[in-house]
Structure 1
Amino acid sequence: MATQLKVASRLLLTDDQIKKFITDGFLILKTDFSKEFHETLNTQLRMVYEEEGNPGNNLLPRIPELQKVLEHPVITGALTSVLGSDYMLHAHRHGHYNASPEAGGWHKDSYWGYQRMRNHHPWWAMIMYFPQDTPRELGPTGIMPGTQNYETRIFQSDDTKEEALASGKAGTFALIHYDIWHRATANVLGEPRFMLKFEFMRMKAPAVPSWAHEEQTWSRPTSSQALPEQHEVMWEDTWNWLAGKTGSLAGTKPMDEAVVQALIQQLEDEYEPQALNAAYELACSGKHGVYELLQALYHENIRVSRLAAYGLSIAGPEAVSGLISALENGRRKTVVHAAFALGEQGPQAAKAVPQLIQCLRHPSEKVRRTATEVLSMIGEPSEEVVQGLAQCLEDSDVQVRFMAGLSLARLGPTASASVPSLEKALNDENRYVRAHAAEALRYIGTEQAKDTLIQFLFKSRWCPTTTPANPFYP
């Protein structure tokens, strides 16, 4: 078995670990901080929570020692392996305190209270860090393996036989696909249990593998959790995508007419895993399968349209013209699904950019939200793209505004013309619009951008030792 590779203080994941992340949707890993480090950290956490309450997004400045956790080689290596070396730590972070003997409900996290079409490719990930020994009885996070790509909950609420627990010694953490189904389990001991959640985003589609990559072709991991279903095509595509091979399976699995027709019927299956497999298999079957997926975008059942979009997202250039045509459709959901698939196509969808720029002025905020994000995923930073995204920073819809900031961050230095607009956005009423604007200035990195960012940070600087009990001295 391959050993982990340490590069620039980052302990990169192995091929087998990446495979497990693809199939299971999570990895349980561990840092090697001392017992004394975690004792100090827990003392600080208990004091803050007892005296001040949950610090929410101020978790890091309030407890600066946590920065050492985020800089640990196991954590930076895991995040680099899954999200690339320039991943972003999102402004939302949360310290979960659990002393309840009742288990929490199964759920997927929202996007800070907002909704969007969820990516199957790992554009987003979370770290759930446990700073104390967390046996089963203390209520670790429960994870349902292999459910990261299901919109529906395909298991019963009391079905815990396949549940994986993020339990272990202090310093254990779960690296999870952002969209996996999870919950808080019961803390039957009633002792304090902290779980520190941090969110991370990929800044660009992968061009080369970012883990300790040795194997060239997909195969299943040597060990895996018991999964609800098998998704060989989806897993292989994700493996290839992470290695920089977007749309590599397009047309590679030709099928006869009878099989294609059976898959078209399966696409309407009420059981999401089966329908999802049909969408991915049709995407790889050649022109006929892609044609049928394009037709399914207009299906009266919105669920079928959404599943078709996932298939079209890996179908390669063959699907691009049809997806561009769908941007003109009068049904909002069809436009959203088509734009999503174009974004996942990356540079292969470059000719869709003019139409997507037009979508930035669409009457539906949900269309504008999607177009705002996917323009940066395609990665064609033309003057018109930057100008359009900068204008979106003043959109009436807050989700459009904070996605515009994220997209400009992804475009980096090529978005330098947006700096004046980003400076205005630093005064937005929404915390995440301000945060994404600040991140965009950081990733743009010009002198003008850095000066603007420094001024903002000085004006908004926050003292981590100033509390109601200690307002001034020492």
Structure 2
Amino acid sequence: MNVPSRDDPILLSDEQVRQYIVNGYIILKPSVPADIHQTVCRKLTACLNEGSNPGNNVLPKVPEMRHVLNSPEVQGALISVLGEDYIEHPHRHCHYLSPTTTTKTDAKVREDAVAANCHQDAYTPLGRPRQHYSRYARVMYYPQNTPIALGPTHVIPGTQFNQGITDADRARAIPVDGEAGTVSLTHFDVGHAAGLNTVNQPRHMVKFIYVRATEPVTPSWSCLNRQWKKPQDVQALHDLNLTWSHVWDWMCGKKDRYHSFRKKNSLSASEVSRLIEDLHEVREVDARLQIIHQIAASGAKAAGSIPYLIKILNTDHQALRLAAIYALGIIGQPAVEPLIASLRESGICKEDDSVPKPWNEGAILMDDTAFALTAVGSSAVEALISALDDTSEWTRINAAFALGELDSLATNAVPRLIKCLNDKSHRFVRTVLDALGSICQNVSPFVMDISQFLLKKEPSWEEVLHSRRWTAQDQIRINAAMALARLGQDAAMAEDILIQALDDPCGHVGAFAMDALRRLDSTSSKQAIMSYLAAQRWDESIQEGRLY
């Protein structure tokens, strides 16, 4: 087998990053010898012929896939969308697609099959919030030639910001077909579906998940122009230029996340009032989007539109909700108090539920007001800190989520978030741990407060919450380990606890603990990792009839 050399990562271009932001995916062609893909395909087939899917263990079962994941193209793309210090998530899965037993395989049958399969992935092992920023990415790899007849994965461009998949979305799914070795890199939340396999052979697609570790401070791709512009190939259904440009500015590390969208000449108050009237009268989605974008261009001068924009949140068309979120964000400080009031009201509505309905142990749908408060930026921090004391669990969860999405802008919230770790709600504590991992700055004095959750046992968190038999206690340990990994060398005080966590009964915890130890880069942390991995080593040459 030809083993490729380790070349420098090939970073994405501005155009490729624009496509990723707008469409939610890009296609990569790793420079990996063909015989590696053949070996991978053969081994995957053998695994599945044994009668079970190896799940998260698919990479150690078929370690040749590391050559694809470590290729300059894949590494460079991951660095480009997640930053140089991205984390490899322990969840992996081989999606095996058997030949269909359907006798009719015409175009309509294929389309119907894809539409029925369309979905947004759940997070694992338990739920996490869907996110607008580029924090989670998915690699999907074909080890065999995958023409349309073999049932390639289909993507629904532009749905990565959606809180669900509609019938209109399902009708737009397009195949990501390609030769052996084709890799698609997608935003984790983009809608997708398996195709229909009409060929007499199995189709393998192996999925890997990657996570951003730190907030962007500068473009991590081959950036030649920091000013946003739409890509040449726009496949999204609606013009979400305000959202796209905001995400671009965030990925560029700009202090002003509306730098690319702001206009020099804003509208007068009377012109804004006229647009608000038009927003009431016009019903067509794209026309209303254009109106919201025009309102947003005036920034704080469009404060009169705040009540009307808030009414769009959580209820209207998804594209309009997105536009309203970021229009409120660019209006800024005047929107904070009304948004907090709306968030508190939303919390009251959820208070009768023992578990808030948007909280799903597959993926959590945060309130639009939380995204809008994040979009406002640093002006919303103090109000969000106050909302952490709300009597409603749902309001507190959303406030913690929004603070985490603000990254280091929410540094002042860290002491209050640490106190929130004493809460008995596992949902709130999980969200707070994630927020601390995202904020990072000023968290190091509280490392032991976070690491205690790798050891702590709370009886009320032992309830099984998913068919895969994971508990809230498991997910809390995972979130704590992830937060410590994101802290890098600032987590040094937790080294001994992280070494213990390598043997955690939940494999996700051990994986993130190992990543945290790797980032500590101390002699003792490296020795612990090597000792652990040496014991885990698998002898590929052992087979039936030859045990040693």
CA distance in 2: counterparts of 1:374 and 1:257, whole angstroms: 29
Alignment-mate amino acid for residue 174 of structure 1: S
Q: 1:333 aligned to 2:345?
A: no
Residues 455 and 249 of structure 1: is their aligned pair in 2 closer, same or farther, counting only changes over 3 Å? same
Are 2:352 and 1:276 aligned? no
Q: Percent identity?
A: 34
TM superposition shift of 1:90 = 1.5
Give, in whole Å, the separation in 2 of the partners of 1:41 and 1:329.
52
Task: Give the deviation of 1:287 after TM superposition.
Answer: 1.9
2:117 is aligned to 105
TM-score by structure 2 length? Answer: 0.80
How has the CA–CA distance of structure 1 residues 370 and 305 changed in structure 2, closer, same or farther, with 3 Å as cutoff?
A: closer
Instruction: Pick the structure with more helix per residue.
Output: 2
Which residue is 1:370 aligned to?
431
Whichever residue aligns with residue 145 of structure 1, its letter is P
- Which of 285, 306, 311 in structure 1 is aligned with 2:372? 311
Structure 2 CA distance for partners of 1:63 and 1:351, relative to 1, 3 Å: same
Match of 2:333 in 1: 287
- The count of aligned residue pairs is 463
Contact kept, 8 Å, 1:128 with 1:173, in 2: the verdict is yes
Alignment check: 8 A CA contact 1:63 1:464 kept: no
Say whether the 8 Å CA contact 1:425–1:434 is kept in structure 2: yes
CA contact (8 A) 2:130 2:366 kept: no
Separation (CA, whole Å) in 1 of partners of 2:375 and 2:200: 47
Number of the residue aligned with 2:132: 120
Task: Report the equivalent of 2:419.
Answer: 358
Asked whether the 8 Å contact 1:381–1:414 carries over to 2, the reply is no
Identify unmatched segments of 5+ residues in structure 2: 1-5, 101-112, 263-298, 351-357, 359-364, 459-472
Query: 2:526 matched to 1:450?
Result: yes
1:223 equivalent in alignment to 2:233: yes
Q: Is the 8 A contact 2:125 2:475 kept in 1?
A: no
Aligned positions of 1:33-112 closer than 5 A: 33-51=32-50, 53-101=52-100, 103=114, 105-112=117-124
Tell me the distance in 2 between the aligned counterparts of 1:383 and 1:122. Answer: 24
Show CA shifts across 1:46-75 (max 9, x none): 223223632222222222221111111111
Deviation at 1:154, TM superposition (A): 2.5
Deviates more, 1:180-189 or 1:248-257: 248-257
Distance 1:246 1:360 in 2: 29
In the alignment, which residue of structure 2 is the partner of 1:151? 163
Q: TM-score, normalised by structure 1?
A: 0.92
Q: Distance in 2 between matches of 1:305 and 1:299?
A: 14
The equivalent of 2:468 in structure 1 is none
Residue of 143, 162, 175 corresponding to 2:185 = 175
Give the gaps of 5 or more residues in structure 1. Answer: 1-6
> How far apart are 1:465 and its partner, in Å?
4.0
1:320 to 363, 381, 401: 381
Deviation readout 1:370-428 (Å, 9 max, x if unpaired): 11111121112544420111111124411110111111111111111101211222222
Coordinate RMSD, CA, aligned: 2.2
**In the alignment, which of 414, 430, 441 is matched to residue 380 of structure 1?**
441
Give how far 1:269 is off.
3.0
Deviation at 1:223, TM superposition (A): 1.3
Contact 1:99–1:191 (8 Å) recurs in 2: yes
Q: Which residue of 235, 242, 263 maps to 2:244?
A: 235
Q: Tell me the CA shift for residue 337 of structure 1.
A: 0.9
Cα distance in 1 between the residues matched to 2:86 and 2:541: 29
How many Å separate the matches in 2 of 1:453 and 1:111?
A: 26
* Cα distance between partner residues in 1 of 2:541 and 2:193: 33
CA distance in 1 between counterparts of 2:374 and 2:303 reads 22
Contact 1:249 1:284 in 2 (8 A): yes
CA drift of 1:177 comes to 0.3
In structure 2, do the counterparts of structure 1 residues 287 and 51 end up closer, same or farther at CA, with 3 Å as the change threshold? closer
1:27 equivalent in structure 2: 26
Greater CA deviation, 30-39 or 295-304?
295-304
- Contact 1:120–1:149 (CA<8 Å) still a contact in 2? yes
1:419-469 CA-to-partner distances (Å, cap 9, x unmatched) read: 1211222222211112111211111121222222222223333334445x3
Q: Aligned letter for 1:401?
A: R
Distance (Å, rounded) in 2 between the aligned partners of 1:316 and 1:140: 40
